[in-house]
Amino acid sequence: MKCIYCNCTESRVVDSRPTEDGAIRRRRECEGCQRRFTTYEKIEMLPTVVIKKDKRRELFDASKVRNGIIKACEKRPVPMEEIEKLVSHVENSVCRQTELEVTSERIGEMIMDGLKDLDEVAYIRFASVYRQFKDVQSFMEELQQLLDNQKKPEE
């Protein structure tokens, strides 16, 4: 492992522990400069292909999921830690499925399910782009559905 500070290739593992998303977090100390840094090991999975709405195919990219969620949560009181948990949940769900292909619609639904619990405004923002509301009426129907779902647990 190359040190991020001095590029020395010799380091020793000081601490090692599993993370919530199945990776292994290792705290390392450089043999050259004695500075510490953290690395994460993750099992490499077979690549998952996303089938887009226009039938194009591309490799699943968690950074695209992250960017979409961050955009939806912009100027909202959503901690970055919660965003990362949602990204990890979506990524794990996609990678653990038995099929090697997943539709962008399925990924969008997973993100919306997570955002609905995280922040309703972020959910509506994401849904408005993802579902491409054609008019105000379809937007209002989505809002009404959200309001109806809020009333059910209270009753």
Sequence spans of domains, the chain: 11-41, 49-142
Sheet holding 11-18, edge to edge: 11-18, 24-30, 36-41
The Cα-based distances of 67 to 29, 59, 70, 118 in angstroms read 32, 16, 5, 16
Per-residue pLDDT of the chain (155 residues; tens, 9 = 90+): 899 999 999 999 999 999 887 789 999 999 999 999 999 998 776 789 999 989 999 999 999 999 999 999 999 999 999 999 999 999 989 988 888 899 999 999 999 999 988 998 898 888 877 776 666 777 777 777 777 776 665 54
pTM over 0.85, yes/no: no
Q: In whole angstroms, what is the distance from residue 84 CA to residue 67 CA?
A: 11
State the distance between the two ends of the chain, measured CA to CA, in whole angstroms. Answer: 56
Q: 3-class DSSP state for residue 131?
A: coil
